[in-house]
Amino acid sequence: MKFDTEMMRRHDGRGPRYTSYPTALQFSGDFTESDYRRIALASNEELIPRDLSLYFHLPFCKEACWYCGCHRAITRREDRKDSYMRRLRDAIALQAELFDRDRPVSQLHLGGGTPTAYAIDALGDLMDSVSEYFNLAAPEQREFAIEIDPRTVASEDISSLAGMGFNRISIGVQDFDERVQKAINRVQSAAQVDALTRAARRAGILSTSFDLIYGLPMQTPAGFSRTLDEVIAIGPDRLSIYAYAHLPERFPVQRLIPEAQLPDAETRLDLFALAVEKLTAAGYEHIGMDHFARAGDELVEARNQGRLHRNFQGYSTHPECDLVGIGASAISSIGDSHAQMDPDIARWEQAIAEGRIPIVRGIELNRDDVIRRDAIQSIMCRGRLDMAELERRHEIDFADYFGNSFTALNRYVEDGLITIDGRILEVTEAGRFLLRRVASVFDAYHQPSTKGRYSRVI
Ligand code: SF4
C-alpha cells in the first residue's frame, strides 16, 4: 500500500463524493412530482425492470452531535416520532402504487437521523408495512442495512433486527478518545460497540461496518492511534474513514466547535495516514477513497471482479437498482433521474397526508450527463476506464468528446495517480485515495473553487 503524503497534500481541495452524477447541487426546482410519477411508471416498462432499492429516512435524534451535517431533527417527543412513522407507512403505500408488485426489493436501507431512536417494535411494524406493499427478495439475495447509534441499542435488540430481515449493520463510532467525544457531544464507549458487534455475529448479521471520522476537534495522532487499535481488536468487516467537513455556514450546530480545537491540515493528513497504515497492517483492503474491508468480505470480491456499484448510501455489491427514497429529504434515483423529497418534516408529513409525493427538486439526465455518469461510475467503482468500451456504449469518439480533459489527465499521469495504456485508463494504488479527484475530470459541472458546498478531499 503506497501512501504518498506529499501527493495527497498537493491534491487536497473540495469536491463531490459522486454518490450520484450529476450531484445534488444540479437538482432543479423545475423537476416536479408529475415528472417523478411518469419516470417511475415508465421504469416498469423496461425490457427487464430493475430490482428496487428502498431508502427510508428516519430523521430524529435524541441530542445533537456537534459535527453533524445530516438532515435530522432533535426531539425526545414520542408523539412527534409516532406521527412521522404513521406518515412513513402512508408514504410506502403511495410509492408502492407506482411500481409493479413483482419487482423484488433486493436492497433496503434505514438511515437518518437515528433509525434506532425508534423502539425496536416500531421498526418491526415499519418492516411489516414494507412487506405488505412490496415484494421482498429472497433472504440470500437481500442487502438490508440499518444505521445504528450504539447509545440507543441493547445487544438483545440486534437479534430482533436480524429477525426483521436486516443482514448488515453500520455503527457510528467516530473516535473512542474521551476528549474528542466530549468535544463533539457524543460520548459512547468501546465496550458498547464491542458488545453490539459480538451480538451481530451471534445473530448471523453478514457484515458489520464502522464509521470513523478524522479531523474532529481535539483529535491527535496518539489518541486516534488508540482508537484504531481498539477498533481493530473489535474487528468490524468494513470501515469508512471519513474526513470531517467543517462547514458551519451550512450546518449551524458546527458553530459549537471552536475552530482552534480542529487539527491543522498536516495533522489531518497524519491522522488519515495512520488509519491507512494500521488498517492495511491488520489485513483490511482498501476498496477506494476512504473505504476499507476485510479480505474475504464480499465488497473486496466485488471490487476485484469489477462488480462494485455506488449509490447514495456508498459502495454496494448489488447490481444497479431503481432507488426509491421514502421520508423527508430522501432522494430517489430511478432510471436516468434523481428526485429529492421535501426536507421539511412538517411539510413532508402534510403532503403525504394529502396523498402527494412531495418532490422539491430533481433532474432528468440528458445524453451528456449519462455519458459522463458512466465514465465517473467506472472510475469510482472499478478504478479504471475502458475508453473503447465507453465509445461503443455511447457512440462517441472519446478523444473528440473529452478532448479538453487530457491536460488534467496527463497531470495525473505525471503525478502517478493514473496510468493510460492504449485505451485503458487505470487508477494506481496511490490514486485510489483520490478517486473523486480523478473522476471530477469528467464532471461537466464541477468548479474546483465551489468553497463551502463540498467536503474536502482529505
Ligand atoms: S451525527 Fe447522527 S446521531 Fe448525531 S445528530 Fe447527526 S444524525 Fe443524529
- Report pLDDT digits (tens) over 358-367: 999 999 999 9
CA of 185 to the centre of ligand 1 (A): 10
Atom in ligand 1 nearest the alpha carbon of residue 59: 7
CA of 11 to the centre of ligand 1 (A): 29
Measured by CA distance, the residue closest to atom 1 of ligand 1 is 68
**Residue of 57, 58, 63, 65 best suited for mutating to test ligand 1, as the one with most atoms within 8 Å of CB:** 65
Are 19 and 312 contacting, i.e. CB atoms less than 8 angstroms apart?
A: yes
CA of 172 to the centre of ligand 1 (A): 9
**Cell numbers given for 177:** 478518545
**Residue 254, ligand 1, Cβ within 6 A:** no
By CB neighbour count within 10 A (0-12 exposed, 13-18 middle, 19+ buried), where does 168 fall? buried
**Residue of 63, 67, 68, 174 best suited for mutating to test ligand 1, as the one with most atoms within 8 Å of CB:** 68
pLDDT at 285 over 60: yes
Q: How far apart are CA 362 and CA 369, in angstroms?
A: 14
pLDDT reported for residue 453: 56
pLDDT reported for residue 313: 78
**Residue 420, ligand 1, Cβ within 6 A:** no
**Residue 64, ligand 1, Cβ within 6 A:** yes
Atom in ligand 1 nearest the alpha carbon of residue 149: 3
pLDDT reported for residue 169: 97
Q: How far apart are CA 343 and CA 72, in angstroms?
A: 9
Closest to 276 in 3D by CA, of 321, 302, 243: 243
pLDDT reported for residue 9: 78
Q: How far apart are CA 329 and CA 339, in angstroms?
A: 10
pLDDT reported for residue 4: 75
What's the average model confidence in pLDDT over 354-379? 97
**Residue 253, ligand 1, Cβ within 6 A:** no
| More confidently predicted of 118 and 457 | 118
Among 50-54, 259-263, 448-452, the minimum mean pLDDT is found in 448-452
pLDDT reported for residue 27: 96
What's the average model confidence in pLDDT over 213-242? 97
pLDDT at 306 over 90: no
CATH dotted code for 17-326:
3.80.30.20
Distances in whole angstroms, Cα of residue 171 to Cα of each of 150, 223, 238, 335, 457: 7, 20, 10, 30, 23
Residues 6+ apart with CB under 8 A from 280: 1, 286, 292
CA of 240 to the centre of ligand 1 (A): 16
What's the average model confidence in pLDDT over 102-111? 96
Measured by CA distance, the residue closest to atom 7 of ligand 1 is 113
What's the average model confidence in pLDDT over 418-432? 92
Q: How far apart are CA 299 and CA 316, in angstroms?
A: 7
pLDDT mean across residues, the chain: 93
Domains of the chain by residue range: 1-16+366-445, 17-326
pLDDT reported for residue 7: 79
pLDDT reported for residue 303: 85
What's the average model confidence in pLDDT over 91-109? 97
Q: What is the DSSP letter of 421?
A: E
CA of 60 to the centre of ligand 1 (A): 8
What's the average model confidence in pLDDT over 381-407? 94
**Residue 68, ligand 1, Cβ within 6 A:** yes
What's the average model confidence in pLDDT over 248-262? 96
- Residue 446 pLDDT grade (very low, low, confident, very high; cuts 50, 70, 90): confident
Are 194 and 208 contacting, i.e. CB atoms less than 8 angstroms apart?
A: no
pLDDT at 281 over 90: yes
Report phi then psi at 202, rounded to 5.
Answer: -65, -35
**Residue of 60, 75, 114, 185 best suited for mutating to test ligand 1, as the one with most atoms within 8 Å of CB:** 114
Measured by CA distance, the residue closest to atom 4 of ligand 1 is 65
pLDDT reported for residue 233: 98
pLDDT at 2 over 70: no
pLDDT reported for residue 448: 60
Cell 456504449 belongs to residue: 393
| More confidently predicted of 35 and 458 | 35
pLDDT reported for residue 238: 96
pLDDT reported for residue 1: 56
- DSSP SS3 for 139: helix
Among 6-10, 186-190, 433-437, the minimum mean pLDDT is found in 6-10
**Residue 112, ligand 1, Cβ within 6 A:** yes
**Residue 114, ligand 1, Cβ within 6 A:** yes
CATH dotted code for 1-16+366-445:
1.10.10.920
pLDDT reported for residue 456: 63
What's the average model confidence in pLDDT over 436-458? 74
- Residue 11 pLDDT grade (very low, low, confident, very high; cuts 50, 70, 90): confident
**Residue 65, ligand 1, Cβ within 6 A:** yes
Among 71-80, 238-247, 449-458, the minimum mean pLDDT is found in 449-458
Are 61 and 112 contacting, i.e. CB atoms less than 8 angstroms apart?
A: yes
CA count, 13 A, side-chain hemisphere, 99:
27
pLDDT reported for residue 314: 81
